[in-house]
Amino acid sequence: MENVWFVLIAVLWTGYFLLEGFDFGVGILLPVLSREEADRRAIVKTIGPVWDGNEVWLLVAGGATFAAFPEWYATLFSGFYLPLFLILLALIARGVALEYRSKSDSTRGWDRALFWGSLVPAFLWGVAFANIVRGVPLDADHEYTGTLLTLLNPFALLGGLATLLLFTLHGAVFLALRTTGDLRQAAARMAKSISPAAFLVVMAFLLLSGGGGGAVRWAAVALVALGLIGAVAATVRGRDGWAFTASAVAIVALVCAIFSGLWPNVMPALDPANSLTVTNAASSPYTLTVMTWVAAVFTPVVLAYQAWTYWIFRRRLTGAA
């Protein structure tokens, strides 16, 4: 059951990065694509009906980690307290901006909050996962012994830049899919401009991360490369749906590469003897069994609701929307 829940948590993070990834990208691109209020309003409307539902994946991933791997949760949230707290503040600022932007006479302050509330998590999630992949200083009690500067190492900053560029590209492709006219063309141009840097940085991060995973991990790395190439190729040809699918494949494959490289660890330590694994960090078999039944009942409901939401709000928007 421990391995099953390791996979399920990887799936939850995949869903979060896939869906919140384009939310972050849209927020980052908001002040870049247009200075016209009508266009900015259309940009915000592309994620307005879905952004809060997308955040559910993060809440469930955190809750599942707490219940299935309490040792992992405790070490992660104590050692990474400041970065995770900054992410929380940024998400709060972004949520407030999305809710109150349309209710204010002046939108400049809300647009800034939306921009920084998207950029900060897009960067810091990469920093956090890069440190997990690299390994962190843990003592024999699995307590983090480093400092904030320990987390801001060059490899972690590379990981942050990788997720920042990947989510920005994902957001540009999403906007090209969901808008029309000049706004769609601007988003497509942005996707083509970002893609070379995103490809180089993401692939550098994956190649430098090393780790285990064997054939599964290297297959995932290859899919990341193909997804990024496919996204820009489809954008050039005006195939927005295929471009979004390709960028989605790249994100899914990235998370797969990270988690397949981690297993059987959940939090590697610089001293391997102190690493947290799926075995020593897991809850009791009874707890995992109960969680499995709960997940089997409620997960289809959540998926059905989100699918319905995206179907209802599927039409393209214009600056006049």
Give Dmax (Cα) for the chain. 60
- The total of other beta-carbon atoms located within 10 Å of residue 290's CB is 13
pLDDT tens digits for range 241-298: 899 999 999 999 999 999 988 888 888 888 788 888 888 877 888 788 887 888 788 7
pLDDT tens digits for range 63-110: 888 888 888 888 888 888 888 999 999 999 999 988 888 777 677 888
Whole-number pLDDT of residue 226: 95
Whole-number pLDDT of residue 321: 45
pTM score, two decimals? 0.89
Taking the C-alpha atoms of residue 111 and residue 188, their distance in angstroms, rounded to an integer, is 21
Average pLDDT for 115-129: 94
DSSP H helices, the chain, are 2-33, 37-47, 51-68, 70-79, 81-100, 108-134, 148-151, 154-178, 181-209, 214-236, 240-262, 285-312
Average pLDDT for 27-53: 85
Looking at per-residue confidence, does 105 or 224 come out higher?
224
- Domains of the chain from N-terminus onward: 2-278 (1.20.1630.10)
Average pLDDT for 44-64: 85
Whole-number pLDDT of residue 47: 87
Hey, what are 157's tokens?
């900053």
Whole-number pLDDT of residue 213: 65
